[in-house]
């Protein structure tokens, strides 16, 4: 059976203490099938990152249940790869050592982890930069390296929290294409990806399914199936269906804000 099935069952999360405690997510339910690419779309503060934090095992539900492949999520685990808006590369380590760090923690010998890290770096076009340090890379290159580090342990699930949000528009578009290529070609079985974004065009371009969240407390306002053909290319954005889906997402966000 394919791995990477997410089930979120009537999830509610409260944060803060005492009188400052507030509800971030309320009675949220969603199922993501193995290998699906799902984008979470919603306004700031609606709980998108909170949901990712709970799926990563860093936050505990106030109510409800989270599971990956039928197993309850109770804490962090290497079977959930994380990529954030700001890269989390160690500045004192080379790109190669950053990417191979997870294998080092598992006791994999240096030669093997460098071989596997080098293969991934080649896949994302970073060959020749293995011995550089993060400060010597552009923002887009840093995010490519961070993606490699998340992929190296071969997790069935990737959680991506606005990974390209801090980049310029052209670099962001390039990395959207690169992510889809790696997702589609780098492994024999596609990983499940849950991708947080504020960008409607980015969500429609990347996803099999777009889940729109209403403002806090976050709950599902609307879910859209994206039937645009794959592989996606820059020409995908010119398709009439792309424009219709983007408009429908915009309208769902506007309606959700009025709830």
The whole-number pLDDT of residue 258 equals 54
Give the pTM: 0.92
C-alpha count within 13 angstroms, C-beta hemisphere, residue 7: 10
pLDDT per position as a tens digit, 180-230: 988 886 555 788 999 999 999 999 999 999 999 998 789 999 999 999 999
CA angle at residue 134 from 125 to 80, to 5 degrees? 75
- Residue that the structure tokens 């099938």 belong to: 33
Both tokens of residue 183?
């997702």
CATH superfamily of 6-79+155-257: P-loop containing nucleotide triphosphate hydrolases (3.40.50.300)
**Do 41 and 235 form a contact (C-beta atoms < 8 A)?**
no
Both tokens of residue 2?
């394919």
Query: Taking the CB of residue 159, how many other CB atoms lie within 10 A of it?
Result: 24
Could you give the CA distance from residue 235 to residue 238 in angstroms, rounded to a whole number? Answer: 5
Give the start-to-end residue ranges of the domains of the chain.
Answer: 6-79+155-257, 90-154
pLDDT per position as a tens digit, 90-149: 999 999 999 999 888 888 899 999 999 998 898 888 999 999 999 999 988 998 999 999
In 3D space, the residue among 132, 164, 169 whose CA is nearest the CA of residue 39 turns out to be 164
Could you give the CA distance from residue 140 to residue 137 in angstroms, rounded to a whole number? Answer: 8
In 3D space, the residue among 44, 43, 155, 135 whose CA is nearest the CA of residue 95 turns out to be 135
The whole-number pLDDT of residue 35 equals 92
């Amino acid at each position: 059976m394919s791995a990477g099935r997410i089930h979120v069952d009537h999830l509610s999360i409260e944060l803060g203490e005492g009188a400052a405690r507030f509800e971030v997510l309320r009675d949220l339910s969603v199922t993501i099938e193995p290998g699906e690419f799902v984008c979470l779309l919603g306004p700031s503060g609606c709980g998108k990152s909170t949901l990712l934090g709970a799926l990563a095992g860093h936050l505990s539900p106030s109510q409800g249940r989270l599971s990956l492949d039928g197993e309850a999520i109770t804490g962090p685990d290497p079977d959930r790869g994380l990529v954030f808006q700001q890269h989390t590369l160690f500045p004192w380590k080379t790109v190669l050592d950053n990417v191979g760090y997870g294998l080092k923690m598992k006791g994999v010998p240096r030669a093997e982890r460098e071989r596997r890290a080098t293969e991934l770096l080649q896949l994302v076009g970073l060959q020749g930069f293995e011995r550089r340090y993060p400060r010597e890379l552009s923002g887009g290159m840093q995010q490519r390296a961070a993606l490699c580090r998340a992929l190296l342990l071969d997790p069935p699930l990737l959680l991506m929290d606005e990974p390209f949000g801090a980049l310029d528009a052209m670099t962001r578009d390039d990395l959207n294409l690169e992510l889809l290529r790696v997702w589609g070609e780098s492994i024999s079985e596609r990983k499940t990806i849950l991708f947080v974004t504020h960008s409607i065009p980015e969500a429609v371009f990347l996803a099999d399914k777009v889940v729109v969240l209403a403002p806090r407390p976050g709950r599902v306002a609307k879910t859209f199936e994206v039937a645009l053909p794959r592989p996606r290319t820059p020409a995908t954005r010119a398709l009439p269906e792309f424009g219709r889906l983007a408009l429908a997402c915009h309208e769902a966000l506007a309606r959700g804000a009025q709830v």
